[in-house]
Chain A
Amino acid sequence: MPPLLIAGCGRLQGFGGEAPPLATFTVVFQGDLAPLRPEGVTDVHALRVALVWGAQWLTEPFCVLPAESPAAAQVIEAGCRDTFGFVPNVVSVSVPIEIDVPATLTLTQLPAADVMVGDVTARVAFGSLVVFDDRDDSGTLWLAGPFRGPFNDGRGGPPEPSRAPSRDIIYGASFVTMTAPDQRIAYREGAFDARSAFYPRAGCPPPPPGFSVLAAGGFSAEAALAALLSGGLPPEDPSTCAVSAPADTTIAIAARAPAEVQAVGCDARTEDSSVRYREPPSSFDYASERVWACAHLPSFDTGGGSAASDLIQLVVSGRLGDRCKGLSHYTLRGCFEDVNCAMPEWDLTANPPDWWPCGP
């Protein structure tokens, strides 16, 4: 009854009326795109900015362990994405944007649970604002993926379908990598675990509950590896940290060459550093447009408690012209889920394919 007494007389709206946005972000994109356009691209078709929620991702061991040979180092360079880079998970809303004209990005839905890291008492999502040329007129950023090499699935089924390449061209992002200054969108529910390694900002204030815009200066890869080896998180310079409400901040994104930022539009097939080793196909022109090396399996990638393998793998990068980096791993013996399985699903060690360049 008390609410009835203090309620103002007015018009009932029921389920109608405009829904208040849950958060509104102001974005301004700066720079000249003409000199940045990729070769063969003569115009900017439809510039848009999208909010992309990040994935919790771990790189595979081959990419972080010291290269065992110069050839392996070249494969790492050609096929491994930035270990500390932003990895997209889900593309949220997007709106048109013009250079030097502020654009408003409005959220009417919270990020879903699958983009938040943590449990229901303490979870957080981080996102990057990505400016892209919507060349396929889909109205959203179409995520891309690496093109991996062919393989035998050993199950008689059709080959794995490859998805259509993304035609969208990325020209900038507010959060590209943790090793460079970034501005990221944060959404927090409940408490915040300062030990969380999900795009960490150690030394910076935690994100406030709800939506916020965070800034950090970034850390070096060397500092990050040193901190990880000591069991900690790489610290940020506190003077570079910033936390603000969405309404209080204009997020400026500088135009960059697509080659520098296109990885923010490349999703990852596996996010837990696991590696799927494949059966070599009967024929494979592995040296064409790809970088390859023969290498031992990473010593700690031996499967669930099984002994270390003496297998030599052929590791092949994606095609050099591909937008997204990726690796394909081949072994002469193994299983789809465990390269060191006791009963291999394929074993070509006694009769390797003619093209196989590595030892057994």
Chain B
Amino acid sequence: MFTALALALTTSAARADDGRRPIDEDWPVQSTGPLAVDGGLVLALPARLETGLSSGIGAGVTRGRRFAWGVRGSWSSATESSLVWTVSHDDFRLRAVAALQQPAGRGVFALRLGLGPTFVYEHRTRNQGARAGLTGPDLETSALAVFPAVDLEGVVTLHILGRWSLVISGGPTALIADGALRGGWTAQLGAGWQP
């Protein structure tokens, strides 16, 4: 993957003397502004569920060049079962972000720090409860909780065509729950748009 990325980032330097046209001529980049919007698929360790993989969508907007700031949000969900319970956790992450960015060819490397709350909506269903005729809280329970959290992500943006780019990010996360620090990770693959 890194080989392919390096090739893509240096392709703009290709000259016509080897018979190829510069990629910038066929795939021109038009992004010049400080504003960047991105969105895509999110994979993450569930914030409070003991097991499973949380998947969903996320999006964000940043403004700036070498130093950028902005906001991000994501939703992801994981459902897992034990003998007794089927538990679903929806994680809603809201973050204020600050990023240090370094352009390189058609791409941008960035290190992004996010701070904000993570809302976790839990829905539990008693296995076999519906078949047994259970109703109400004996059959299902739900709860909502919020936790302070921080993310540190590496971000790679590769301009593809015009104002569109491929955005890959990922890194460790941490939140405070029950007085303890709980670690995790998050990753996103998506598209960016920069005017």
A interface residues (Cβ-Cβ under 8 A, vs B):
3-4, 7-15, 19-20, 22-23, 107-110, 187, 189, 209-211
- Give the chain A neighbours of B11 by CB distance below 8 A: none
Tell me whether A19 and B85 are in contact (CB under 8 A).
Answer: yes
Interface residues of chain A: helix, strand, loop or mixed (majority): loop
**Which of B54-62, B106-114, B140-148, B165-173 is the interface stretch?**
B140-148
Q: Is A211 a contact of B121 with CB atoms below 8 Å?
A: no
Residues of A within 8 A of B89 (CB): 12
A8-B143, A9-B144, A12-B143 are contacts. A110–B128 as well, Cβ < 8 Å? yes
Q: By the criterion CB–CB under 8 Å, are B138 and A12 in contact?
A: no
CA gap between A187 and B131 in the complex, in Å: 10
Q: Contact at A211–B144, with CB atoms within 8 Å? A: no
Nearest CB in chain A: distance from B45 CB, A = 14
Contacts of B80 in A (CB 8 A): 15
Q: A10-B144, A22-B126, A107-B132 are in contact. List 8 more A-B contacts (CB 8 A).
A: A3-B123, A7-B121, A7-B144, A9-B146, A11-B143, A11-B145, A15-B84, A20-B138
- Contact check, B144 vs A8: say whether CB atoms are below 8 A apart: yes
Would you call A12 and B48 a contact (CB within 8 A)? yes
Would you mind naming 26 contact pairs between A and B with Cβ atoms under 8 Å apart? Answer: A4-B90, A4-B121, A8-B143, A9-B145, A9-B146, A11-B143, A12-B48, A12-B143, A12-B145, A13-B124, A13-B143, A14-B49, A14-B122, A15-B85, A19-B84, A20-B134, A20-B138, A22-B128, A108-B84, A109-B128, A110-B131, A110-B132, A187-B132, A210-B131, A210-B132, A210-B133
Complex CA–CA separation, A161 to B107 (angstroms): 77
Please name all residues of chain B whose beta carbon is closer than 8 Å to the beta carbon of A19 when the two chains form the complex: 84-85, 126
Residue pair B49, A9 in contact (C-beta under 8 Å): no
> What residues on A are CB-neighbors of B195 within 8 Å?
none
CB distance A20 to B143 under 8 Å?
no
**Contact of A13 with B141 at beta-carbon distance under 8 Å, contacts A4-B90, A20-B129, A22-B128 already known:** yes
- In the assembled complex, the CB of B75 is this many whole angstroms from the nearest CB of chain A, namely 9
Residues of B whose CB lies within 8 Å of any CB of A are 48-50, 80, 82, 84-85, 87, 89-90, 92, 119-124, 126, 128-129, 131-134, 137-139, 141-146
Known A12-B120, A22-B129, A211-B132: A4·B144 in contact at CB below 8 Å: yes
Please give me the residue from chain A that is nearest to B120 by CB atom. A12
Closest to A208 in B: B133
Known: A3-B121, A20-B138. A15 touches B50 (CB 8 A): yes
CB-defined contacts of B145 to chain A, threshold 8 Å = 9-12
* Minimum C-beta distance from B56 to chain A (A): 13
Q: Which residue of A lies closest to B80 (CB)?
A: A15
CB <8 Å contact, A13 and B131: no
A10 to B120, CA, bound (A): 10
Closest to A6 in B: B142
Q: How far is the CA of A109 from the CA of B138 in the complex (A)?
A: 14
Nearest CB in chain A: distance from B72 CB, A: 18
Q: How far is the CA of A9 from the CA of B146 in the complex (A)?
A: 9
Across the A-B interface, give the 4 residue pairs with the lowest CB-CB distance, nearest first.
A210-B133, A10-B143, A22-B132, A20-B138
Residue in B50, B143, B146 whose Cβ sees the most chain A Cβ within 10 Å: B143
